[in-house]
Chain A
């Protein structure tokens, strides 16, 4: 039997990036807030210790800081014809666990989406005609514009201390920045990171090929920085142990380095760790949440009543939470009705490997988000007339590390062991480069999330089931952009170029990205979205669902700048609209 706790104004499920932002904003409003986090407490000095953080085996290979499948996982299949089986070991994506969430071990590549991305279907219809959009795609508008998002992007970037160079300030082009980006009100809070040799060569090659290179925006502080909450960050040391690791230098933006030092001092905030929320409780009408039930590490069940429930559990667990709590109508691909789980998307990657003679890139001098990029083939930045796809990809040279258990490039045909392998490994370790094509991912009718009929988690709840394969549109898109990357590689004159095209089927084995998207998408129509433009549930208005779960489809960028901006936008709506008038902020 659940033991009942005293009521709180706000109950937050998960204390990662979005949970921390919401908690800080709403405690500023004077509300009494509790965040319930399934993983442990984590802080820099203890858990990302400079004495032993640089341990590839422990953190990158054995995945010490990530969610362990024994605690929670999902099942996976490519399509409804297959039987979904559990992801027994995480590979393709690596969800976070513990205070800070995936904000602890992300790279910090911090991108805004393009203005046209937010009006995806309208924009493409206006430019090419509705018929141009392939039938398989269920892409739609966000119900919010880039212009509405801009102040919130700004807020997240100045919280996180992002290093970069603006390409467009209030409509004025800026030399050295991304000429394709939407207008921003001001430059980045910090200048770009110093460039290593590989990205510099790529930028020269791209420029020679007629494109527009610029430094990747990085939440790795290029200088020491005092953020908007007064929290101090140290300068990044290019340590090369960034993604999959916590930062021991207080340089990578995370809840730990940007928010928690302020939030934790507030008497009206409480964080409970090692406590997993199992469901949101609803009243008899099913239209109002009364709080949540959670299970602590000792197996004791607790009921935490609250007036407002914020689901900040990362996209996959946001959708899972709605499904197990019976909030909203589950999506059914057969009839294309229902909304929860609809429009699950991902990120479409391909790349080009280059082997050079007589070059030394010192690839271990690296940060999670250092790099040079071009956006000439991203989104709808190029004319798609005459092409057989919509969408696009960024091309970047962003060597984030050269940790040797996982990163030992050798040319194709090299044996995988023995003396020949050893020689090839030694010859190529310092002198190879990789160009990434990071593409958008467009929604289809058949890609979705629901509950698995067979497999259960350790608490007996059904696992989330993922049904996903790359849409043919996205395969054509990424192949096109990969050919462009190959052309730039040629300009760079390596000894050998090895393209890695993306093919079907999608596999959950090799790491691709933890950019899972959708399933509780935002929009202006309750028939095709789960939350309104403020991320408020259409069905249960005192529940907000925050995260990349709200993106109707994915753009050719990493998600977190947009996730952070949406979190601020939701917080703003709660503070300035919802608290004045509890109830639906947009009439259904």
Chain B
């Protein structure tokens, strides 16, 4: 191979002149690129998250929004530990997640054929989160109207709502047209995500969940505290967006 190394000199000279080049022109966002001769770096490059803005629902209809707000407010009820899931923004969080790449499982392998499989083979359904919410929320309200003389889920008394959610969880209600248990697990998962994720995604208002449990959030340097065994961490949490009392949006 040594013999080829000699002839590769001209290649090297060629390469040195093309430190970073887009190999092939295209309009696609993720271009194939060639890098050589230096560490590529461009100022201000980065891929920060887009903060969720308040405003109209992006995915939910008015009725769906009412139902999901009622659900998240029972999953995370207001009590002396924290505000409820609705005020914390969990429904807004779910709405924005469903409107983004999560809603249609854009990153997952969704090619057929689809088969039921064993639980240990994981997700096998072709149904997307957006479809699951649409069908599940409608079926839940139908069920409630039939069972509770015309009242939708959000119109039930709080103990009635809790009872319905428990029955969804343990599978004793079977919603037509919706895989009840999978629907409930998805809502539970997304509600918890919204409550505990960085507030930048629309939930966890004012870092309420982090204050509740004692998680300092986006702080990145604990060197001064490693040795303080069994002592409370003294500083309040911060979000990727900072803190309210910094003057920004916390």
Q: Which of B11, B32, B45, B231 sits near A275, CB closer than 8 Å? A: B32
Q: Is A260 an interface residue (CB 8 A)?
A: yes
Interface presence of B232 (CB below 8 A): yes
Q: Count of A residues near B, CB < 8 Å?
A: 105
Residues of B within 8 A of A298 (CB): 24, 26, 28, 31-32
Using a Cβ–Cβ cut-off of 8 Å, how many residues does chain B contribute to the interface with A? Answer: 94
Nearest chain B CB to A75's CB is how many angstroms away?
A: 9
Interface SS, B side: loop
In the complex, are the beta carbons of B221 and A237 less than 8 A apart?
yes
Interface residues of B in 43-79 (CB under 8 A from A): 45-49, 74-77, 79
Question: For the complex, is A55 an interface residue (Cβ under 8 Å from B)?
Answer: yes
Interface check B15, CB cutoff 8 A: yes
Most buried by A among B2, B32, B42, B169: B32
Contacts A31-B5, A194-B227 given; indicate if A274 touches B76 (C-beta within 8 A): no
The answer to whether A364 and B38 touch (CB under 8 A), given A70-B108, A456-B111, is no
Tell whether B131 is near chain A: CB-to-CB under 8 Å.
no
Interface string of B88-106 (1 = CB under 8 A from A): 0000000000000110011
In the assembled complex, the Cα of A430 lies from the Cα of B12 at a distance in Å of 56
Task: Report the Cα distance A419→B42, complex, angstroms.
Answer: 49
- The answer to whether B45 and A296 touch across the interface, beta carbons within 8 angstroms, is no
Q: Does A392 contact B (CB under 8 A)?
A: no
Whole-angstrom CA separation of A426 from B79 in the bound complex? 13
Return the chain B residue nearest A78 by Cβ.
B120
A265 at the interface (CB under 8 A from B): yes
A36 to chain B minimum Cβ distance, whole angstroms, is 10
State which of B32, B49, B76 has its C-beta within 8 Å of the C-beta of A422.
Answer: B76
Q: Are A55 and B49 in contact (CB under 8 A)?
A: yes
Q: Tell me the dominant secondary structure on chain A's binding face.
A: loop
Query: Would you call A270 and B4 a contact (CB within 8 A)?
Result: no
Within 8 A of B (CB), among A181-212: 194-197, 200
Asked whether any CB of chain A lies closer than 8 Å to the CB of B201, the reply is yes
Q: Is the CB of B107 within 8 A of A422?
A: no
- Which A residues between 21 and 69 are near B, CB-CB below 8 angstroms? 30-32, 40-41, 43, 45-47, 49-58, 61-63, 68-69
**Contact segment of A130-138, A328-336, A401-409:** A401-409
> A10 to B119, alpha carbons, bound, how many Å?
44
CB of A183, distance to nearest CB on chain B (Å): 31
| A57-B201, A425-B213 known; A271 vs B106 contact (CB < 8 Å) | no
Most chain B CB atoms below 10 A, which of A77, A265, A270: A270
Q: Are A197 and B229 in contact (CB under 8 A)?
A: yes
Please tell me if B149 contacts chain A, counting CB pairs below 8 Å: no
B4 touches A417 (CB 8 A): no
Complex Cα gap A53–B220 (Å): 9
Q: Which of B138-146, B172-180, B190-198 contacts A (4 or more CB under 8 A)?
A: B190-198
- With beta carbons under 8 angstroms apart, the residue of B111, B212, B214, B229 that contacts A86 is B111
Query: With an 8 A cutoff between CB atoms, is A113 at the interface?
Result: no
CA distance A275 to B24 in the complex (A): 11
B81 touches A426 (CB 8 A): yes
Among the listed A58, A408, A417, which residue makes an inter-chain contact with B213, where contact means beta carbons less than 8 Å apart?
A: A408
Contact B117 A365 (CB under 8 A): no
Q: Closest CB-CB distance, B250 to chain A, in whole Å?
A: 15
B9 → A minimal CB distance (Å): 9
Contact of A505 with B by CB under 8 A: yes
Given the contacts A268-B8, A270-B15, A364 and B216 also touching, CB distance less than 8 Å: yes
A454 to B111, CA, bound (A): 11
Docked complex Cα distance between A88 and B12 (Å): 42
Interface flags for A362-375 (1: CB within 8 Å of B; 0: not) read: 10110000000000
Given contacts A40-B30, A63-B107, A267-B12, 20 further A-B contacts (CB under 8 A): A31-B5, A43-B41, A52-B49, A53-B220, A54-B218, A58-B49, A68-B108, A87-B122, A197-B230, A238-B226, A239-B221, A248-B220, A264-B37, A274-B33, A308-B1, A360-B232, A365-B233, A418-B75, A422-B82, A429-B214
Which of A's residues lie within 8 Å of B, judged by CB? 6-9, 30-32, 40-41, 43, 45-47, 49-58, 61-63, 68-70, 73, 76-78, 82-83, 85-89, 91, 194-197, 200, 235, 237-241, 248-249, 260-261, 264-275, 296-298, 300, 307-308, 359-362, 364-365, 402-405, 408, 416-419, 422-423, 425-426, 429-430, 454-456, 505-509, 579, 582
